[in-house]
């Protein structure tokens, strides 16, 4: 209902009250400024205010939940930190009790690993010199291939157990080779020196045996009896004959190898049967034989004897031919 500013019998005449009324009515009835538009604005403001309030409440709830979670996590962190410090204290106490034994075990393990690496390096270094090997479950098996003058001879193996102390599990080294003595000297202190020394002994033995075998097989015609030798082949004695100038002479030789790592004898004795009646030239020949045996392998010395006899035989044939020719001319 509109307010009434005049009575029923009054006339509608312009005045201050009428002007105000007209202005109020004009404001209400003006487009866009009506009651409905004003209500819509109020509803929009209320809705926006309600939404902001809800968002604020949601943020406050989330903030409260995060604060609670942070508090719980901090509490858990403190508990874990305390447990960690307690565990560290127990570990330090245990280490303090077992540290000496652990240190010894670590040192022994490192020493064994170092020895195993040294063995690998030695095997790699000696691969082209007759020494080779392969790793086993216990340690390493070393194979030693002997040779003399470029001829491959016998092979031997030594199965080493890499532990503290190092030990030989099995081997094929001949019993007369001083393996135990070599191992006592070098096995625990220098594995490279141990293998090198063992190779020297085995190569020297194979070389001496090879020379003796060659003498028996290739120059049996020059021998007047069996070749006598011991298992180590470091003591040889034999009798041989030479026929220079058509005369046959017997020589007795005794070769002693004091150095078991050598393939040449250290002591040589050569005698000639009936030596009292020999001339000075034959004494010189006997002495030259001793020198040859000391400086050259046995089979090479006899090879030179065989060549010399062939030359002497050729010379005799030539002399006989000349003698026959002169007789025919007469």
> Residues 179-199: what's their mean pLDDT?
92
Backbone angles phi, psi at 133, to 5 degrees: -175, 175
Averaged pLDDT of the chain: 80
Q: Which of 249, 177, 172 is nearest to 209 (CA)?
A: 177
Residue 252 confidence (pLDDT) above 60: yes
8 A C-beta contact, residue 168 and residue 160:
yes
Dist CA 226 CA 240 (whole Å): 10
Dist CA 193 CA 133 (whole Å): 16
Residues contacting 150, CB < 8 A, separation 6+: none
8 A C-beta contact, residue 305 and residue 243:
no
Asked which of 185-189, 217-221, 308-312 is least confident by mean pLDDT, the reply is: 308-312
Dist CA 251 CA 274 (whole Å): 10
Residue bearing the bigger pLDDT, 103 or 149:
149
Check residue 13 and give its pLDDT. Answer: 47
Residue 117 confidence (pLDDT) above 90: no
> Residues 172-200: what's their mean pLDDT?
93
Q: Domains of the chain by range and CATH?
A: 123-205 (3.30.457), 219-329 (no CATH)
Q: What percent of the chain has pLDDT over 70?
A: 72
User: In the structure encoding, which two tokens stand for residue 159, read together?
Assistant: 């199965």
Residue 227 confidence (pLDDT) above 50: yes
Dist CA 92 CA 101 (whole Å): 15
Residue 70 confidence (pLDDT) above 70: yes
Compute the Cα dihedral for 287, 248, 235, 305 and give only its sign.
positive
List own/partner pairs for 193-198 with CB under 8 A and 24 or more apart.
195/122, 195/126, 195/131, 195/142, 195/144, 197/261, 198/144, 198/158, 198/173
8 A C-beta contact, residue 18 and residue 5:
yes
Q: Which of 259, 199, 196 is nearest to 233 (CA)?
A: 259
User: In the structure encoding, which two tokens stand for residue 76, read together?
Assistant: 């858990």
Check residue 125 and give its pLDDT. Answer: 53
Check residue 86 and give its pLDDT. Answer: 84
Dist CA 93 CA 209 (whole Å): 66
8 A C-beta contact, residue 251 and residue 213:
no
Residue 277 confidence (pLDDT) above 60: no
């Amino acid at each position: 209902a509109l307010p009434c500013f005049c009575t029923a019998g009054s006339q509608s005449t312009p005045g201050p009250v009428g002007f105000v009324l007209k202005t109020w009515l004009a404001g209400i009835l003006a487009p866009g400024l009506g009651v409905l538009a004003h209500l819509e604005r109020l509803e929009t403001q209320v809705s926006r205010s309600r939404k902001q309030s809800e968002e604020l409440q949601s943020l406050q709830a989330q903030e409260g939940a995060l604060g609670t979670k942070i508090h719980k996590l901090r509490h858990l962190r403190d508990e874990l930190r305390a447990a960690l410090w307690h565990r560290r204290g127990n570990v330090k106490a245990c280490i303090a009790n077992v540290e000496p034994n652990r240190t010894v075990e670590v040192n022994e393990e490192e020493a064994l690993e170092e020895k195993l690496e040294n063995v690998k390096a030695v095997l790699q270094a000696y691969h082209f010199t007759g020494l080779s090997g392969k790793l086993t479950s216990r340690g390493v098996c070393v194979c030693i291939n002997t040779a003399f003058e470029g001829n491959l001879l016998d092979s031997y193996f030594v199965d080493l157990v890499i532990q503290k102390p190092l030990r030989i599990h099995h081997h094929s080294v001949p019993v007369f080779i001083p393996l135990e003595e070599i191992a006592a000297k070098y096995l625990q202190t220098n594995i490279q020196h141990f293998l090198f020394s063992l190779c020297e002994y085995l190569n020297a033995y194979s070389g001496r045996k090879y020379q003796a075998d060659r003498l028996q097989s290739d120059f049996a015609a020059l021998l007047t009896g069996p070749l006598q030798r011991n298992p180590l082949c470091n003591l040889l004695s034999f009798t041989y004959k030479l026929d220079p100038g058509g005369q046959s002479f017997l020589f007795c030789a005794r070769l002693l190898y004091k150095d078991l790592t050598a393939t040449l004898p250290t002591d040589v004795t050569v005698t000639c049967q009936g030596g009292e009646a020999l001339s000075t030239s034959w004494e010189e020949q006997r002495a030259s034989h001793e020198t040859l045996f000391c400086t050259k392998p046995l089979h090479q010395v006899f090879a030179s004897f065989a060549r010399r006899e062939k030359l002497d035989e050729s010379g005799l044939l030539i002399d006989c031919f000349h003698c026959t020719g002169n007789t025919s001319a007469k």
